[in-house]
Amino acid sequence: MPYNLNLPEEFNAADYFVDRNVREGRGNKVAVLCEDRAFTYGQIQEGVNRFGNALLSIDVRMEERVALLLLDTEIYPQAFFGAIKIGAVPVCLNTMNRSKDFEFFLNDSRARVLVVDAALLEQIDSIRGNLRFLKHIIVANGTAPNGDLTLSELVSQQSSELETAPTCRDDSCFWLYSSGSTGSPKGTIHLQHDMVYSTETYGKKVLGIQENDVCFSAAKLFFAYGLGNGLYFPFGVGATAVYLPSRPTPESVYTTVGKHLPTLYFGVPTLYGQMLEVDGSMAGVRLCVSAGEALPAAYLQRWKSRFGLDIIDGIGSTEMVHIFISNVPGDTHSGSTGKVVPGYEARIVDENMHDLPAGEVGTLLVKGDSAAASYWNKHEKSRQTIMGHWVNTGDKYYCDEQGYYYCAGRSDDMLKVGGIWVSPNEVEACLIEHQDVLECAVIGAPDDDKLIKPMAFVVLAKSRQASLEMENELKDFVKSKLALYKYPRWIHFLDELPKTATGKIKRFELRNLVQNQGV
Same domain, 152 and 229: no
Looking at residue 518, its pLDDT comes to 64
Q: Indicate whether 381 belongs to any domain.
A: no
Looking at residue 420, its pLDDT comes to 63
Looking at residue 158, its pLDDT comes to 98
How far is the C-alpha of 200 from the C-alpha of 198, rounded, in Å? 6
Same domain, 161 and 221: no
Where among 159, 192, 225 does a domain terminate? 192
Looking at residue 217, its pLDDT comes to 98
Task: State which residues form the domain around 280.
Answer: 210-367+390-412
Same domain, 358 and 300: yes
Spatial contact of 233 and 203, defined as CB atoms under 8 Å apart: yes
pLDDT tens string for the chain (519 positions)?
Answer: 667 889 999 999 999 999 999 999 999 999 999 999 999 999 999 999 999 999 999 999 999 999 999 999 999 999 999 999 999 999 999 898 889 889 999 999 999 999 999 999 999 999 999 999 999 999 999 988 888 999 999 999 999 999 999 999 999 999 999 865 445 689 999 999 999 999 999 999 999 999 999 999 999 999 899 999 999 999 999 999 999 999 999 999 999 999 999 999 999 887 898 899 999 999 999 999 999 777 888 889 999 999 999 999 999 999 999 999 999 999 998 889 999 999 999 999 998 999 999 999 999 999 999 999 999 999 999 999 999 999 999 888 999 999 999 988 766 676 767 556 677 888 999 999 999 999 999 998 888 766 678 999 999 998 889 999 999 999 999 999 887 878 999 999 999 999 876 677 888 889 888 877 666
How far is the C-alpha of 349 from the C-alpha of 363, rounded, in Å? 5
Same domain, 289 and 225: yes
- How many C-beta atoms surround the C-beta of residue 25 within 10 A? 10
Q: Indicate whether 197 belongs to any domain.
A: no
Same domain, 182 and 225: no
Q: Indicate whether 278 belongs to any domain.
A: yes
Where among 161, 192, 223 does a domain terminate? 192
How far is the C-alpha of 227 from the C-alpha of 221, rounded, in Å? 4
Same domain, 303 and 404: yes
DSSP code string of 78-112 = HHHHHHHHTT-EEEE--TTS-HHHHHHHHHHHT-S
Same domain, 330 and 274: yes
DSSP 294: P
Half-sphere exposure of 365 (CA within 13 A, CB side): 19
Same domain, 401 and 261: yes
Looking at residue 407, its pLDDT comes to 86
Looking at residue 442, its pLDDT comes to 94
Same domain, 151 and 79: yes
Q: What is the count of structural domains for the chain?
A: 3
